[in-house]
Chains A and B, each alone.
Chain A
């Protein structure tokens, strides 16, 4: 069974850093297209970042230069390093695996809450 489980969220002050993890089972992270998606309180879904199976990475303009997506094949885990955090980064962050024919999100995690506040 395909499963992804996020962790690492918490309360952090503006300007701080946090690393989110997404532990995968039932598939190989390095062979998949993997994404981070966030949802601010009471708002819709916002795509954040994508890593291809080739290792190419992509970011939404709102996080470019501050966030870094990566993966560890030995741990079958996806990461999101978030630096220079802002109040507007407060959201539930979801990890999502794309389908084998790529493009659409087929498997979602339950999310981890990041709160940026002083």
Chain B
């Protein structure tokens, strides 16, 4: 079964960097994922597609502060130079034929 696992919460200081993790279930370590951001009281926004080799393509207008990387079954979202508006929920998402799957989301707090 295709499952994405995320830590429920993370925190980092203003101006620092943070690395959020999304783990693919066993047997699916070569899958690509996407990262989405949801700021408080807003709809989700597409950030990037991230392949198993770490190659990523970002959505329109996504700042250079956002990047992605991969290692085995883990997919990472790295946010550098954290700003207050980065405080949001972050979801990873993947897909197979006829099914779309979300991780449980990580709530990022900017201290």
Give chain A's interface residue range (CB within 8 Å of chain B): 20 to 34
Contact A104 B101 (CB under 8 A): no
A7 to B42, CA, bound (A): 16
For the residues of B in contact with A, the DSSP-based class is strand
A37: B residues at CB distance < 8 A:
44, 100, 102
Determine, out of A9-17, A19-27, A41-49, A83-91, the stretch whose residues face the partner at the interface: A41-49
Contact A104 B34 (CB under 8 A): yes
A108 to B36, CA, bound (A): 10
Q: Is A99 an interface residue (CB 8 A)?
A: yes
Residue of B nearest to A106 (CB): B46
A45-B44, A105-B34, A105-B46 are known contacts. Are A58 and B101 too (CB-CB below 8 A)?
Answer: no
Q: Which of B42, B59, B102 contacts A44 (CB under 8 A)?
A: B102
Q: Which of A35, A47, A111 contacts B43 (CB under 8 A)?
A: A111
A60 to B45, CA, bound (A): 22
- Residues of A whose CB lies within 8 Å of any CB of B are 35, 37, 44-47, 50, 56, 58, 94, 96, 99, 102-111
